[in-house]
Amino acid sequence: MADSLSLVSGAQLPTMGLGVWKVPAERCVSLIDEAISIGYRHFDCACDYGNEAEVGEGLQRTIQAHSIARDDLWITSKLWNTYHRRQHVRAAVERSLSDLRLDYLDLYLIHFPIAQQFVDFQDRYPPGWFFDPQGDVPQMRFDQVPLSETWEAMEDLVKAGLVREIGVCNFGTALLRDLSSYARIQPAVLQVELHPYLTQEKLLRFCEQQGVRVTAFSPLGAGSYCELEMATPEESVLREPVVQAIAGNHQRTAAQIVLRWAIQRGTAVVPKTVSSERLLENWQAQDFVLTDREMQQISQLDRGRRFNDPGDFCERAFNTFCPIYE
């Protein structure tokens, strides 16, 4: 039986999701089919991932083949940085809905608290981080868009029936507090990087007080970032002796232990994989329980190590200094 988290609205967010960041487009159709066959119902997508059309094909085929009702699925997508102005928000979600072959999204998130200048859909989609990739020194180009303007446009999507829940990614407590002060519809979900090297205890506690559910991206830590040269294999939490020991105690894999830790903390998780074996392995992290002592031991691994930090990678990869967490 799959776990879920209750949102303020009463909607049920499945605890175990499949993230499709960095999943090759040609793998998406078969991966979605395998995931639904296993029991997955939560799929975490984004314009910026560049594979929503293929995910949509996979969803459509699989819904038909397995006689799955649309309402039994939870599909999340995200508003990219270049679409923060009011007049671009609806067009952005409509493009995602078209690619995903859906009439509505269960959850739509502001991907980053970073507003960049608009790039026309006909010029480039997804637009990525550069304003002009062909420039002599391509860079990001920021836009001065109040978060209140973007959020009001997100609220309009709910009223229009295009999305059922709205939320944010990569926000801290200060931005959440500011947003909640004027939001007519409060954010339902915060998606942030969370793993044993970045436990974010204060942020989780604040969200619990505010009634905001939390989804952990990169719940296994360094793995997704090694090939991007944003982490080293030595930084893998899966190598930690305490994680290995707990895995042995439960006759589970290290990845299952780390995912189970995240679930028992009350967060949803969206690990990415293209492996059929790991897809099942991740799903099975729901059918056992860690002791309080084991939970504490894993939490004590916290290093404050953030792998996905625009303050680091934007300057290196996009020639633009762009801190958001400091």
DSSP for 180-204, please give it: HHH-SS---EEEEE-BTTB--HHHH
* Single-letter amino acid code for the residue at 81: N
Tell me how far apart the alpha carbons of residues 48 and 25 are, in angstroms, rounded to a whole number.
13
Which of the following is catalytic: 49, 83, 108, 197? 49
Tell me how far apart the alpha carbons of residues 230 and 245 are, in angstroms, rounded to a whole number.
27
- 325 is an active site residue: no
CA-CA distances (angstroms) from residue 127 to 40, 147, 193, 275?
29, 20, 23, 28
Report which of 85, 104, 16 is spatially closest to residue 281, judged by C-alpha positions: 16
Residue whose pair of structure tokens reads 């995931």 in the numeric block = 35
Helices (H), the chain: 25-38, 52-66, 86-100, 147-159, 173-182, 201-210, 223-226, 241-250, 254-264, 276-283, 292-299, 310-318
Structure tokens at 241: 């002796």
Tell me how far apart the alpha carbons of residues 212 and 172 are, in angstroms, rounded to a whole number.
12
Q: Which residues are catalytic?
A: 49
